[in-house]
Amino acid sequence: MAKRELGKAFEPADAEKRLYDYWLKNHFFHAQDESEAEAFSIVIPPPNVTGMLHMGHALNNTLQDIIIRFKRMQGYNTLWMPGMDHAGIATQNVVEQQLMKEGISRHDLGREKFIARVWEWKEKYGGVIINQLKRLGCSCDWERERFTMDEGLSHAVREVFVRLYNEGMIYQGDYIVNWCPRCHTAISDLEVEFKQDQSFLWNIRYPFADGEGEIVVATTRPETMLGDTAVAVHPDDKRYKDKIGKYVILPLMNKKIPIIADEYVTMDFGSGAVKITPASDPNDFAMAQRHNLEIIIVIDGKGFINEKGGVYKGQDRYEARKNVIADLEKGNYMVGTEPYAHNVGQCYRCKTDIEPMVSKQWFVKIKPLAKQAIAAVVKDKTKIIPKTWEATYFDWMNNIRDWCISRQLWWGHRIPVWYCDGCGKIIVATVDPDKCPECGGVSLRQDEDVLDTWFSSALWPFSTLGWPDQTKALKTFYPTSLLITGFDILFFWVARMMMMGIYVMKDVPFQHVYLHALVRDEKGEKMSKSKGNSIDPLLMIDQYGTDAFRFTLSAYTAQGRDVRLSPERIEGYKFFVNKIWNASKLTFANLEDFDESAPVSVPDSLPDKWIKTKLNKAIEDITLGLNEYRFNDASAAVYRFIWHELCDWYLELSKPAFYGKASPEEKQAAQRTLREVYEIMLQLLHPFMPFLSEELWQTLKGSDEHSIMVSKFPVVKTQWEDKAAESEMEMIMEVITSIRNIRGEMRIAPSQKLKVLISAADELNKQTIEKNNSYIINLANLESLTVEMNMIEPKGVATAVTGATKIFVPLAGAVDISGEKTRLEKELGKVSKDLEQCSKKLANRDFCAKAAPEIIQKEQEKLKDFQKKFNTLEGALKKLKGLSV
């Protein structure tokens, strides 16, 4: 076998680049459109084209890559579909800011040239994140990379829009929407963030139109009164019952407005009367519809008072507020103010206060779509994991409101609707019409608006696979197997994909949805640029290597829990990488002269049998963990096996076979096991640490002819199950640990070799220990080990008990009586507590009558063990006390 050498330490920076290029060159990430193998597919949550990799992306994509690599190794025809989102508002903002530096606005450029500029920007600066995903090791099928604005996806968008329109699922109407005065566009309900604002409640007097008196209304937005068209009270409110139908004078505007009755009004809030501004408040708008009230828009799209606002025309909304208040005071209309905390909606993009505004927008009728999307989850066609999110999903879906899909932007999919100047016909088509089908006129104007970015993302699971064409890829990979995403876009994205997938494809877009938590800092706070607590994933990769970083994310992804990240943790797993590297150095040294073709001449040693059962357990745990998306459990199984079983025990136990006086045949057998176990260990590690495992794999194989990423994922080998060997080895390990314990507790120098005596309980016990005495001698560092049955406890020893075995460690030189006494008393204390608890249980009549037989038996065995241990320790202690008297 070729000589293999590893450097002093793993060099992530070098290996990562080299191996990723190697994978790409060999097209290992590429999925087949058609294959004998069963398909497994995931679509990436497309990052914004303007995006930079943050911790959320890092977590999300690491988890996807772990599953994808796992499934690929299991032999599935595995597709991870990558791509990006055009991110309407964000991208337009970026390019507008660029223009601003040049002193021009998008309006100076005009629509067409502006869009050209955006594309230019995209080609030059967009998609930085794609390269960042590559640094994470993501094994996406880059040959299929898509963009929501590319030709195929745009085609899909038009197709779906037209279909929805023709089926009466899309309508246009004047409705109150959330308007961002800075972005100059409507945004959906989901895109509004509420923030608490310490403000005031202003109480304003509205005098009755006829005769004496007044009605007092309270408001948080006095400036909107300019557009008031009614005052509402509760129909059952005795105070106002006789006023309903009468009129009040709207101060400052000097206008008569009616008093109406509506159950929406809360009687015990403020005066029980509320001013109604249909154009500036969603609830007021709804009431206006119920009562046929006039709708007067007084605030324009930039947040300024328009000509309907009288003398306040031209003032921005905050300035107008001040002036309105001043004028109300001047006119003695102000009754008073009180401090008031309330929530103000803000644009999620630019944090500008939302201005609810009435305008013409396009909507999707969502209820019928939601109904089916709910049913799919109820029927388990799509499983949401962890299940607790199902309730949230159902709740939102049940209370869903129509989706406003038009945006007053330029960057995006322009709405495929044309208006004929000649006859006023509305044309909705997938291809640009050149004349009106009604009147033949050629003067057609396309709708100015574009679609919400999420409209195209909602089609992602099938549009990326080529729909509306019936491609082979679509047939093979839809419905996709799994979606992994953060719970924060459950509504934005997951729910909408569900609705669109079912509507268009007549089938759910994915079988499983795994929702992971958010990444927070070590204090549990959300990472954000403004707080300055965000950790840059790329910096972590530079510092600790991708493998350590990925492993950390996986290890801390417990279902339903936030990931609290700190650099120290990543460093800890860098140590793990180092440990694996060093174990590999030892392994390669041990395997240097291994002849694979030599016949097997001796049976496996006890450690060989033991490590194989442990490896089986690891395979089982890791496979189960990944199948159930319990990333923390799977990672813990990897860590435990490699560090605590392979390194701590097996590599140490097998050292004598390599360095000691073992026969060539015994060495050969040890090499065979080591070689096999090591190889499987690398494969188990691969999904989590792709680079390290590949590097070691190729070193082991002596070439890059085969990649670990397309090797077969290990399965449990039933011929390795060996319960007897497992418990035998563990008994020996316990003896070793007990001796080490005495060493530590009694402060016996590690360099001092000990002559240990063991009193075996029976012949079998004696034979087992004698057969395996070399392991004990080596690992406990003994000079000699004497085993006898029913040995009388010698003087001047420290005593330990494990199961049926008594261990006596002679104390060198002056016997440290008080030290041993303390140690024994401590042990005795522990055992007597166990003993008491156990015997109490067995003395309980109800326990014996009702508990399961195997539980009772177990308790009885425990009692025996405790009793034996207690007796031995107590005897030792008595003897010691006798000595000290």
Minimal distance in Å, beta carbon 636 to RNA? 6
Binding mask 473-512 toward RNA (x if CB under 7 A, else -) reads ---------------x--x---------------------
Residue listed under structure tokens 């909304």 = 317
Residue ranges in 605-634 that form contacts with RNA under rule CB under 7 A: 630, 632-633
Q: CB of 192: closest distance to RNA in angstroms?
A: 7
Please state the closest distance from residue 150 (CB atom) to RNA, in A.
30
The distance of closest approach from Cβ of residue 545 to RNA in the complex, given in angstroms and rounded to an integer, is: 10
- What is the nearest approach in angstroms of RNA to the Cβ of residue 78? 27
- SS3 letters for 814-877? CCCHHHHHHHHHHHHHHHHHHHHHHHHHHHCHHHHHHCCHHHHHHHHHHHHHHHHHHHHHHHHH
Beta carbon of residue 834, minimum distance to RNA (angstroms, whole number): 5
Whole-number minimum distance, CB 574 to RNA, in Å?
5
Helix axes 567-591, 690-701, angle to 10 degrees: 10
The residue type of 343 is N
Nearer of residues 446 and 781 to RNA, judged by Cβ = 781
Question: How far does Cα 215 stand from its chain's mean position?
Answer: 54
Contact yes or no for 261/290 (Cβ under 8 A): no
Element (H or E) spanning 481, and its range? strand 480-486
57 contact partners, CB below 8 Å, separation of at least 6: 47, 51, 129, 132, 133, 537
Distance CA 611, CA 737 (A): 18
Stretch that binds RNA, among 37-45, 141-149, 157-165, 280-288 (CB under 7 A): 280-288
Told to check if 269 binds RNA by CB under 7 A, we report yes
Stretch that binds RNA, among 96-104, 146-154, 422-430, 566-574 (CB under 7 A): 566-574
Name which of residues 840 to 879 contact RNA (CB under 7 A): 841, 844, 846-847, 850-852, 855, 858-859, 862, 865-866
Interaction of residue 471 with RNA, rule CB under 7 A = no
Pick from 32, 98, 172, 283: which binds RNA (CB under 7 A)? 283
**Choices 34-42, 152-160, 289-297, 580-588 (CB under 7 A): range interacting with RNA:** 580-588
Q: Should residue 295 be labelled a site residue for RNA when binding is judged by CB under 7 A? A: no
Stretch that binds RNA, among 504-512, 555-563, 691-699, 812-820 (CB under 7 A): 555-563
Q: Is 441 in the site for RNA (CB under 7 A)?
A: no
Nearer to RNA, 577 or 618 (CB): 577
Q: What phi-psi label fits residue 272: left (phi over 0), alpha (psi between -120 and 50 degrees) or beta? A: left
**Interacting residues with RNA between 163 and 222 (CB under 7 A):** 189-190, 194, 201, 217-221
Closest approach of Cβ 254 to RNA, in Å?
Answer: 21
Q: How far is the CB of 752 from RNA (least distance, A)?
A: 10
Q: Which residues of 9-34 are buried (b: 16+ CB within 10 A; e: fewer)?
A: ebebeebbeebbeebeeeeebebebe
Radius of gyration, alpha carbons of the chain = 37
Nearer residue to RNA within complex by CB, 217 or 615? 217
Query: Exposed, middle or buried: residue 365 (CB in 10 Å: 0-12, 13-18, 19+)?
Result: middle
Q: Tell me how many residues contact RNA (CB under 7 A).
A: 95
Tell me whether residue 164 or residue 218 sits nearer to RNA (CB atom).
218
Q: Considering beta carbons, is residue 741 or 786 the nearer one to RNA? A: 741
Which x/- pattern, by CB under 7 A, does the window 767-806 give for RNA?
A: --------------x-------------------------
Nearest CA among 768, 770, 782 for reference residue 738: 782
Nearest to 831 by CA among 787, 789, 786, 877: 877
Residues in 44-63 at the binding interface with RNA, rule: CB under 7 A:
none
**Bridge partners of residue 468, in order along the sequence:** none
Q: What's the rounded Cα separation, in Å, for the pair 702 and 135?
A: 25
Position among 431, 724, 749, 792 found at the interface with RNA (CB under 7 A): 749
Judged by CB under 7 A, does residue 696 bind RNA? Answer: no
CB 184 within 8 A of CB 301: yes
The residues near 146 (Cβ < 8 Å, ≥ 6 apart) are 46, 81, 82, 83, 84, 152, 153, 463, 464
Q: Give CA–CA dist 368/359, Å, rounded.
A: 25
Query: Any idea what the Cα angle at residue 576 is, between residues 621 and 544, rounded to 5°?
Result: 120
Stretch that binds RNA, among 84-92, 266-274, 599-607, 756-764 (CB under 7 A): 266-274
Quick check: 745 binds RNA (CB under 7 A)? yes
Using CB under 7 A, which of 337, 430, 582, 832 touches RNA?
582
Decide: helix, strand or coil at residue 627: helix
Site for RNA in 218-247 (CB under 7 A): 218-221
Give Cα separations from 663 to 21, 554, 651 (angstroms). 45, 43, 18
Q: Which one of residues 636, 804, 817, 842 is an interface residue with RNA (CB under 7 A)?
A: 636
Residue 477, φ and ψ in degrees, nearest 5: -110, -5
For residue 462, give the nearest of 478, 447, 450, 443 by alpha carbon. Answer: 478
Work out how close the CB of 397 gets to RNA at its nearest, in angstroms, rounded to a whole number.
11
Quick one: which of 564, 701, 717, 868 contacts RNA (CB under 7 A)?
564
Instruction: Answer yes or no whether residue 561 interacts with RNA by CB under 7 A.
Output: yes
Tell me if 710 sits within 8 A of 716, measured CB to CB: no
Among positions 281, 355, 547, 695, the unique one binding RNA when judged by CB under 7 A: 281
What's the distance, CA 476 to chain centroid?
Answer: 27
Q: How far apart are CA 483 and CA 45, in angstroms?
A: 8
User: Closest distance between RNA and the C-beta of residue 20, in Å?
Assistant: 22
Instruction: Please list every residue from 505 through 534 that binds RNA, using CB under 7 A.
Output: 522-524, 526
For the segment 359-388, give every residue that binds RNA (CB under 7 A). 388
Choose between 411 and 492: whose C-beta lies nearer to RNA: 492
Q: Are 694 and 19 in contact (CB under 8 A)?
A: yes
Tokens encoding 728: 């035998």
Q: Which of 33, 421, 447, 652 binds RNA (CB under 7 A)?
A: 652
Q: Is 89 in the site for RNA (CB under 7 A)?
A: no
- Measured in whole angstroms, how far is the alpha carbon of residue 297 from the centre of its chain? 44
| H-helix or E-strand spanning residue 250 | strand 247-250
Per-residue binding string, RNA, 325-364, x by CB under 7 A, is: -----------------xx---------------------
Binding status of residue 813 toward RNA by CB under 7 A: no
**Cβ 845 to RNA shortest distance, Å:** 8
Closer CB to RNA, 439 or 851, in the complex? 851
Instruction: State how far the Cα of 108 lies from the Cα of 352, in Å rounded to an integer.
Output: 24
